[in-house]
Amino acid sequence: MTIDEDGTIVRAVREGHTEAFGELVGRHKDLVYGTLMRLTGDSQVAEELAHETFVRAYKGIRGFRGESQFGTWLVQIAIHLARDRVRERRRDRTVSLDELLERDADSPVLTEVRPHYDPLAEVSERDLVKRFEESLQELPPGYREVFVLHHIEGLRYEDIAEITGDSVGSLKVRSHRARKLLKEMLFTESGHEAPEDVID
């Protein structure tokens, strides 16, 4: 099934074949959940917001004009929900370093960005990935969004600009700064120089 077939399924849902929406969920659930997981750092919150994303998409499907890909539209809904949740969290409490360190060791990890070698001989690859996850959550929200969407989910800057309303130029600047900050958090603060080909 190709991306172009999303439009066919959307039309079917609009025509009353509501069961067809399940096909859209199946096609895009990994993208939506993965994006939310990396933006929120919480699997339970990501599942909740992913569910809410598809509920909103179903209710608002007649408002989808087809000017962008359906998956891009879904990610846009998901990002707005994630932003709202982050704002709520900031009002409610401040996440401490201790809380981050107490996260379940078996929680999903970002294997897509693992380096091809271990620059810190005394630290296991698993520890490095765990530190990456934690560092990702420490990035400013705007930096984290563009890093997740472009470097992890593989969206083009043009698609991200459509989702966020920001210019391609500003997104590229944030992406560059996000990579620099992640390198500093992962390596420089540990007393090691960050290799140039890590987090490209």
Sequential DSSP letters for 64-104: --SSS-HHHHHHHHHHHHHHHHHHHHHHH----HHHHHTS-
For 118, the 3-state DSSP assignment is coil
Domain end (from 94, 110, 134): 94
Nearest alpha carbon to residue 45 among 120, 111, 108: 108
Distance CA 78, CA 32 (A): 7
- Report pLDDT for 92: 53
Work out how many domains the chain is built from and give that number: 2
- Report pLDDT for 30: 94
Domain end (from 74, 94, 114): 94
The neighbour count for residue 152, using CB atoms within 10 Å, is 15
Is residue 168 located within the same domain as residue 181? yes
Is residue 79 located within the same domain as residue 111? no
Distance CA 200, CA 198 (A): 6
Tokens 């997104």, residue located? 171
Domain end (from 77, 94, 111): 94
Report the CATH number that the domain containing residue 70 is assigned in CATH: 1.10.1740.10
- Report pLDDT for 131: 81
Distance CA 14, CA 21 (A): 10
Domain extent for 133 = 98-200
pLDDT digits (tens, 9 = 90+) for 49-99: 999 999 999 999 988 887 788 999 999 999 999 988 877 766 654 444 444
First vs last Cα of the chain: how many Å apart? Answer: 31
Is residue 192 located within the same domain as residue 141? yes
| pLDDT profile of the chain (200 residues), mean per 10 | 75 91 94 92 92 94 86 92 80 47 43 42 61 87 91 90 91 93 76 46
- Report pLDDT for 119: 45
Residue 197 contacts by C-beta under 8 Å, 6 or more apart in sequence?
A: 115
Is residue 69 located within the same domain as residue 160? no
With beta carbons less than 8 A apart as the criterion, state whether 145 and 79 touch.
yes
Is residue 113 located within the same domain as residue 180? yes
For 39, the 3-state DSSP assignment is helix
> The tokens of 102 are what?
């107490």
- Report pLDDT for 126: 67
Is residue 17 located within the same domain as residue 105? no
Is residue 82 located within the same domain as residue 173? no
Is residue 136 located within the same domain as residue 185? yes
Is residue 156 located within the same domain as residue 77? no
158 alpha carbon, distance to own chain's centre = 16
Is residue 68 located within the same domain as residue 113? no
> The tokens of 189 are what?
């603060």
- Report pLDDT for 123: 46
Is residue 120 located within the same domain as residue 169? yes
φ/ψ region of 16 (left if φ > 0, alpha if ψ in -120 to 50, else beta) reads: left
pTM across the whole model: 0.67
Report the CATH number that the domain containing residue 193 is assigned in CATH: 1.10.10.10
Is residue 88 located within the same domain as residue 148? no
Distance CA 77, CA 132 (A): 26
